[in-house]
Structure 1
Amino acid sequence: MTDGKDVKFKRVMLKISGEALMGDGQFGLNPPTVERIAREVKSVHDLGVEICMVIGGGNIFRGLQGSAQGMERTTADYMGMLATVMNALAMQSALETLGVFTRVISAIPMDQVCEPYIRRRAVRHLEKKRVCIFAAGTGNPYFTTDTASALRANEMSCEAIFMGKQVDGIYDSDPKKNPDAKRFDRISYDEVFRQNLKVMDASAIALARDNNMPLIVFSLDEPGGFRGILAGEGTYTTVHR
């Protein structure tokens, strides 16, 4: 592997879905799964890489689905933001149990639970080698955690966004349904738009593209996958400008 001197990136954003924390369950958090992901994060942190994280809230509540069921969209989205705070606190607990100092930073102030988002303070946490988990999305309804991850990655001067999925990259069709699906090693943001590939929402893709931010899509279920990519190993897709 690598000793940390030759890692490809020094500061990265890791975006994972809330569903990634469910394990084999249908709802909520699976503590062994949260711990497994925390160990993956720690293995990269141990290389000296500065890590930002954004975790979705779909394992607890998804605003868009709530809206589709008749709930007012703004209220549903705020509920989804609160779900991301719960997930962030769970990940913080798992990381700190492993000895990784972590800060949960919320776009919606809730001082008794976590820190409010102040960019300079968050940058200082990263410089002190603390993992920063950005919660509550952008603090605004109608924006997803995908967009929040692209926004915070740019604000924190990250060198890449890592998106942990259940598949090892971007395919031209669903590999779970089509055994002949083709995986891309590299693909441009414009081609993602043109082929309407469901990688991130359109706002997040545009924000990453316009700021020349590389996006790396990999399997979160592959043990050591996150660390391996930092060493130039493994299977993944890079999205570039």
Structure 2
Amino acid sequence: MASTVRAQAPIGQRALLITTLAVPLTGWTVHALALHRKLSVARRDPLTGLLGRDGYTARARQTIDRYGDHVLVVLVDLDHFKQINDGPGGHAAGDRVLVATAQRLTAWAGSRGAVGRLGGDEFAAAARIAPARRALRLAQLTALLAQPVEVEDGVLVDVAASVGAASPEVIGTRDLSLLQRAADAAMYEGKHTGRPVIATTAHTTVPSINGRRAGRPGTAVRGRAA
């Protein structure tokens, strides 16, 4: 009988120890899951619902890794956006234009693409597009982004966007930072012209665009630009 009691005692102690350890572990798991959800939400732009800079960067790199030379990295900057913010509709009209731009870019990139708002009126996308269709798809995007946006009481606001793009095949790299640098330089080459520009290797050597390094990862979010 004594030996039976001695055999059961360690088992009970072990069970108590496991139960005691399980409580904080369970609590930590719940905390970790809650934190993960908060971080996932934080990676989204609250206005447009698009990925923020960090979330977009991670998703875009995955897209490039998966589709390689069949990816097109695109940067979009709205033209004369300050005039919309300063117009009769104010920032509410500006916000509506940003939301519409996000929706149009998302529809254009498709379910396999990555779309993000980098800050202010600057957007980015990495989409799977066959090399032979690049020019056509970029022309479609420019036309789509140039459609008037309905704001309050059915009022239409004219919008336009500058579009620059870069492909791993042409630039010779799958590094997202370099592709964004080239796309940014191409975008400013075609600024206010209404035509998209596909980057060449020459665009990777542009040291500065409007006083800032082109496509620099981690650049602080810029305010709404003109």
Give the TM-score normalised by the residue count of structure 1: 0.27
Structure having the higher strand fraction is 1
* Greater Rg by CA: 2
TM-score, normalized by length of structure 2? 0.28
